[in-house]
Structures are given as C-alpha cells and as structure tokens.
Amino acid sequence: MKISVISSSPRKEGTTSLLVDEFIRGAAEAGHEVFRFDAAFEKIAPCMACVTCKNGKEKCIHNDSMEKLYPHLLEADCVVFVTPLYYFGMTAQLKTVIDRFYAVTGTLKNGSSKKAVLMVAAWEPSDTVSMKGLAQQYKTLVEYFGWEDIGVILAGGCGTREAVAKSDYPKQAYQLGKSL
C-alpha cells in the first residue's frame, strides 16, 4: 500500500511529530511504502481560485512544493492528515495544502478508492467541543472525495510532546499504521 502522510506542525519535535513517527514506523513494519510531506517546512502558495488548472485539466499556476506532493497524493492508497489543533481547526499549513487539492480534484474524486486517517493533538481533552469542527471538516472532506475513513486519533490533553509521550496515543498511531 502507498501511503502519503501530510504533517502540518511548524514544530519539528512538536506534539504531532511523535504520532507521525509512530504511525510511519507501524506502516513501514507492515511493509507499506510511506511518503512524508511536512507542509510547514515547504513553500506552498495559497490557491487563488484563478481556475487556470481547470480542476486538473491544466497545471496549477504555482510552481512550488505541491509539485512534490501531487504525484504521491494521486498514487496513494491512503492519505493521512496530521495537525495540532489551532483555534478549533487545522493549521493554516494543512488547510493551504487541502485548498490546493483543487488542481487535482477530478483525479482524486473520480473512481478513487483511497482510505484516509486523521491524527490531531490538542491541549484540551478530546471529548470537549474544541475538536468537533476539525473532526467534521475531515469527515466532510473524506465524504466529498468518496474515500474511506479508516481511523481518527484525537489526542486530547496533549499540549506538550511530553504529554503525548506519556499517553497511549503514540501506541494507537503505531497500531493504526501497522494494521493497514
């Protein structure tokens, strides 16, 4: 299975990096091919709604790091979205990447049988209202593309890397990667 992990934390050793590392470790042990894209450390211009790409019929006007992601995204059997929670939603870095999916929406949507995963870390407990909007946005995205949601890890109460490390969430991320 080909897996594209889109991580979006601007902190290299932040709360979500441990989840990403463990997910990838499990997936690699299971024999999967994993491509990791750290959006916060890439040059990605926002979509300008210019429609030059004509939803995949032409190339996007931006010649940036999305050119590295697009081939892996299109070939992936599974797309993993990873973000810390920022004001009830995903990071701007992840939102920018998802907005740029527009340039390949037709390919992603038509006949695609991709699987999807969401992993989030937040200060607040996962059973609070704080993650509901992000979880719903992910659910809507997956439904729109006709993908199969195969796992969501909402690592609540994990505002520091130490809190994540002491929790059961890294093990859950590892098991999810290994189970694919």
User: Residues 154-174: pLDDT tens digits?
Assistant: 999 999 999 999 999 999 999
Report the C-alpha gap between 97 and 69 in whole angstroms. Answer: 9
C-alpha torsion sign, points 69, 33, 91, 133: positive
Q: Which residues contact 176 (CB under 8 A, 6 or more apart)?
A: 23, 26, 117, 150, 151, 153
At residue 111, the pLDDT reads: 63
Model confidence at 127, pLDDT cuts 50, 70, 90, reads confident
Report pLDDT digits (tens) over 71-120: 999 999 999 999 999 988 899 999 999 999 999 988 888 766 899 999 99
Question: Three-state DSSP class for 110?
Answer: coil
At residue 166, the pLDDT reads: 96
Determine the length of the chain: 180
Rounded percentage of the chain residues whose pLDDT exceeds 90: 79
- What are 7's strand-pairing partners? 38, 82
Q: Give the CB-side neighbour count of residue 180, counting CA atoms within 13 A.
A: 34
Report pLDDT digits (tens) over 19-43: 999 999 999 999 999 999 999 999 9
Report pLDDT digits (tens) over 52-80: 987 667 788 999 999 999 999 999 999 99
At residue 110, the pLDDT reads: 72
Report the C-alpha gap between 93 and 43 in whole angstroms. Answer: 10
Within 10 A of 149 (CB to CB), how many other CB atoms are there?
14
Report pLDDT digits (tens) over 2-22: 999 999 998 988 899 999 999
Instruction: Please state the CATH superfamily assignment of the domain spanning residues 2-179 in this structure.
Output: Flavodoxin domain (3.40.50.360)
Show me where the domains of the chain are located: 2-179
